[in-house]
Each structure stands twice: as structure tokens, then as C-alpha cells.
Structure 1
Amino acid sequence: MLQRTILGLAPIQNSLLGTGVVLTVLFTVSRPEASAGLGALARLLFWSAHIGTALLAILVVSALIRRFNPTRWPLWWLVVSLGLFGCLLSAPVYWLLELGFAPHLEHSEPDGYWDVLGARGPWHGIAAEAVEAMPQFMVCWIAINLPLLFARPTVYGDGGGDNPSDPEPTSDTEQEMKQRRDQFFDSLPEVIGTDIVAISSDLHYLNVYTELGQAMVLGSLKNIAEAFGEEGVQLHRSHWVMKKQVKKVCISREDAYCLTHTGQRVPISRANRKLAKALFGQLNHSAVALQGAVSANAAAPLKRVQ
């Protein structure tokens, strides 16, 4: 249930904003000690800033983690070290918030070791905020990365596949693209092979779908799209598909997606509908029949049609 989602319920990137709103409302209503003495509006602003800062830091470290090669660095090490870095990024903002709201807080006077340390000066205050925020931040960050840390490949068939044979590169650019593809293939579990069907992104994760199965790896969808060049197309900001794998295209007023030979449904954004028609226009004649045949699966992008 951890594969591709938080507890199998929703993509992580779509859950962050909702989680932030829920936590902000919860802390505003419950009046924890950290905001004691503030009025309702001030508490709302205080917790919106606190939680918003944490979520922004998570997005920053999510962007950074995509730049590291997990074959060179242990994944657990990357997650923990970048989580600590994200906490350090948040600390100066937390310190400024405490400084700005301090005159209105009931406990504005130092009442603990870290408060006493923080009162010694700006750097001490930032360090104290980092230490106090670290447990909560790291728990949230590691929870977000559980799908990646414990991901296991899902197999559709038996055996694996060899890396697709590329023609010999004729330029430095083609050589670089081939190296990118080879690195990407090396990151995939052998059991699912390398016949790529589609790839979707969720924060710093890539959910890779092949003819034999699916797996979650670390990476950037933009880099993958560049590496495969004209072999595939990104018709949605979070989804890419191999052109030769597209069987049918369905474009209607309410929905638009590609159906692959393996049964994956790859969403098409409204802005890319014209591009999809230009690329796969000859497949649109069966779109109406297709829509009725698979309408029951419309709620799950990239869901395998049985």
C-alpha cells in the first residue's frame, strides 16, 4: 500500500497542501503552548507561517535529492542528511517568527534551557530553533520518504529484460543522453526489465512502469524526458509515456489520457491535448468506444487495466 502513495490513498505531492491546511487549523483551534497568549487571527498567522515554512523546506530538499545518484550514496544517508539540511533551512525563519510574536506570547520570557540559550543572540537563537524543530521535522520528512525507502517492485510477468540496444552515438550530446539512459536502467530492479512504458513523478520519486512490472526510484522526470528524447513524450507535468507503447487515445470534454498496450492510463493535461492529437491523431477514431469501456477506472491515473 506504500507503493506510489501515502498509504495508497493519494499522491504525496497532492497531499502536502491539504496536510498543511489541516495542521494549521488544528493548531489554531487547539491553542498549543507555543502560541499561548495570541488571538485567533494571530494564531492562524503564526501556525500558517510555521507549517508553511516546513512544507517549503520539504519541497526544497525534495528538489535537491533528485540531483543525487542513489547508486553512489546510500538512500537512507541521503534522506537523513537532506532532512537535517531542510531543518536548518527552516530554523532562521522560525527564529524570526518567535522574535516577531514574542511580545504577544504569554511565555515570552525564557522558561527552559533552549529558551535561555536562544536569548544569548541571533546565532544561538537559530541553533536553539533548529534543535527544537528537528524531531518533528525529521519524523515528517522520513514519513514522506517511506514509500521510497521501503518500495518493492511489482512484477506483471516472469523474468527481466536486457537494456535496449541503442545505436552508436554520433555526437557528444547523444553520448550524454545514452549515459543518462544507462544510469536510469541501472537504477531499475532487474526483475521488471527495461522495456519502459510510462513514468510518473511524485515529489522526488519516479514511478516507473515497464512491460514486466513497476518500481519506484529516485529521479527527475525532466531529466528522463530529455534522456529519451523523441522516443517518448511528456503530455502532463507529472507523466511521461513511450510513444511506441501508446495503443489508443481518449480525449473528451471531461477527460483525456493515453491507453498503453499494457493497460496503463497516462493522463493528458488540457494544455497538451493539441499535441496529443498531433502525435496520435490516427488513434482517436476509437476514443469514444474506449471511454465507455474503461470509464470505471477513471479515478486512478496510470492504473493497470485488468
Structure 2
Amino acid sequence: MFPAAGLALTGLLALSEPTRTVGLTLPARIILVALNVWLPLAICLAASRWVMTSTAARLLPYWLWLSLIGVAAAWISTPAFVALEGWLQPLDLDGGPPGSDPSLRSFLQDWPSEAWEAGRVVVPVWLMLNLAVRWSRPAVIGVEAAAGGRPGFLARLPGRLGDDIISVRAEQHYVQVETTLGGELLFCGFGSAVHELTTQGAHGMAIHRSHWVAWPHVAEIYTVGSEVRCRLKSGQTVPISRRRVREAREAFDAFRSLPARTA
């Protein structure tokens, strides 16, 4: 959905000729508009994925995180916006000469105000896109979902899925949970999911920043070329981050050494 929204915004803005693109040809206008749309969008997507797959996700409310990410994207993108405007030289409707190129000192002084102007667009659009994504997925279970006294992460799962979790996979602001009875997409950060699973004592580990697996459902850890992977008993394979290979092997070996009744 995000790529489609980016393309739609780029086309709409390029054809409507915003104030800061006055005097530019259509190709130049498309270039400037595309940077203004895709750079903050790329930063927002990358930052939100990093946040939602880390333990930082549980430190602040979800929508506050998204707002802060939008502000940061606007602030970081501003120098690129200004630099491209200086190169393309649109008309300055504030009275300056076309393509006026302010000094570095002047730009640094104006950066907060330029970032504020960008943020007034970036943050609302980013939040609306995320609202649209959430509304377009009516089957997603929200963070408030709970099931009859089940502990920790299990409280998020609908009862029909049982409590035998096979794996959890990060999906942007959601997690895809697979159990022996089926799968479900949950509105939850991956970092929060891993924290809750660890707290409730689940036998498993986040072997990758986007994948958590339950040891009872792991068949083997093996090497293919330079990659180390985890094969589940269902046949699915999951990558293991290089920095987590040793820890994953040790944890899996320790689990297999446990008495069979604890598996």
C-alpha cells in the first residue's frame, strides 16, 4: 500500500504544480516532488521497521512512535529538499531571485523553519497512511485483544489458534503468528512480542530481527554456503542473523538436552 500511495502522491502533486515548483518544467517538477514524497516515506518505513522490531517499541505508545518518526523524517529530509531546489531553480515567490542559493550559515539558521514546513505535511500524511493500512486489514487483532486469562503474548491470540506457537514474524507494524492450528496477523510490534514471549518463559528465541521461533518446532540448524538457517518441523526455513548464530545453536542444544516432558 505504501508504494502505491507514494506513486499517487507524486503524480497528484506534480500535476497540481505546488508553490515550490512554480517555473519548473514537468520533468523537473516530477523529480522535485518525487524526492519530497519518497525520501521521507523511505525514512519513515525504515525507522518504523527498526523501532517496531526492537524492544524500544514498548517504551512509547504506537501512534506517538509514528508521530516522532514522521518528525525525524521531515528533519532529516530537509537538506535534500533545499539542495534539489537550489539545483532545479524554481521561482521564489517570496521575492528572491530564481534559484537563490543561500549560504550554509543561512541554511542552518533556516533549517528548523524549513523542517517545520515539511513536517506539517509529512507527519499527517504518514499517520493517515498508517490509519489506512490498519483499516484495510479488518482481520487484524489489536493490542487490546485478550483471551480468558491466558498469560502474556498468548492473551493476544484468538482462542481458536490454541497456545502452541510455532513462529512469529515481523510484518512492518504487525506480527504474523503461526501456531499448530493456524495463523493470524496481530497489530503488535515484533519487539513487544519477543519481550512478552520471553517474560512468559516460552521455549524459543528471536534468531533474526524479524523472526522468532519456538524450539519444540525446530528440526535443525544448518549451514548453506555462508548462511546459517533454521528448519522448522513444518518444512519452513528461517534465516539466522550472523551475530545470533552461536547463541541460537547453544540455546537449541540446551533445549534438546532438557527432559522430554518439558518440550
Tell me the TM-score normalised to structure 2 length: 0.58
In the aligned structure 1, how far is the partner of 2:190 from the partner of 2:134?
Answer: 11
Distance, in Å, in 2 between the alignment partners of 1:39 and 1:105 is 11
Q: What 5-or-longer segments of structure 2 have no aligned partner?
A: 192-205, 220-229, 239-263
- Per-residue CA distance 1:212-264 (angstroms, 9 max, x = gap): 8732211268335355468359xxxxxxx9945x4xx8xxxxxxxx8xxxxxx
8 A Cα contact 2:169 2:210, kept in partner: no
Aligned partner of 2:81 among 48, 70, 94: 94
Contact 2:41 2:126 in 1 (8 A): no
Aligned to 2:156: 189
Q: Deviations 1:111-131 (Å, cap 9, x if unpaired)? A: 9xxxxx999811133212211
| AA at the equivalent of 1:218 | G
SS of residue matched to 1:64: helix
Which amino acid in the other structure matches residue 125 of structure 2? C
C-alpha contact 1:95 1:125 (8 A) present in aligned 2: no
The one-letter code matched in structure 1 to 2:164 is: D
Tell me the residue number matched to 1:219.
Answer: 190
Q: Would you say 1:137 and 2:122 are equivalent positions?
A: yes
Higher mean alpha-carbon deviation, 37-46 vs 24-33, is at 24-33
Question: In 1, Cα distance between the equivalents of 2:115 and 2:95?
Answer: 19
Q: Are the aligned partners of 1:161 and 1:190 in contact in 2 as well (CA < 8 Å)?
A: no
Equivalent-residue separation in structure 2 for 1:60 and 1:72 (angstroms) = 19
The alignment status of 1:202 with 2:171, answered yes or no, reads: yes
Separation in 1, partners of 2:85, 2:158: 52
Counting matched residue pairs gives 199
1:200 Cα offset (Å) = 4.7
8 Å contact 1:206–1:219 — kept in the other structure?
Answer: yes
Who is 1:124 aligned against?
Answer: 109
**In the alignment, is the contact (CA less than 8 A) between 1:20 and 1:51 conserved in 2?**
yes
> What is the aligned-residue RMSD (CA, Å)?
4.3
Select which of 61, 70, 76 maps to 2:47.
61
Q: CA deviation at 1:187?
A: 8.2
Paired letter, 1:195? D
1:153 is matched with which residue: 105, 129, 141?
141
Cα deviation for residue 41 of structure 1 reads 1.5
Kept in 2, the 8 Å contact 1:207–1:217? The answer is no
Cα deviation digits, residues 126-165 of structure 1 (max 9, x gap): 21221111122111222243356998628xxx955857xx
d(CA) in 1 for partners of 2:55, 2:62: 10
Equivalent pair of 1:206/1:217 in contact (CA under 8 Å)? yes
What code does the residue aligned with 2:3 have? Answer: L
> Could you tell me whether the CA contact under 8 Å between 1:25 and 1:44 is conserved in 2?
yes
2:13 counterpart letter in structure 1? F
Segments of 5+ residues of structure 1 without an aligned counterpart are 1-14, 112-116, 164-184, 234-240, 250-257, 259-267, 269-306
1:79, distance to aligned residue in structure 2 (A): 2.3
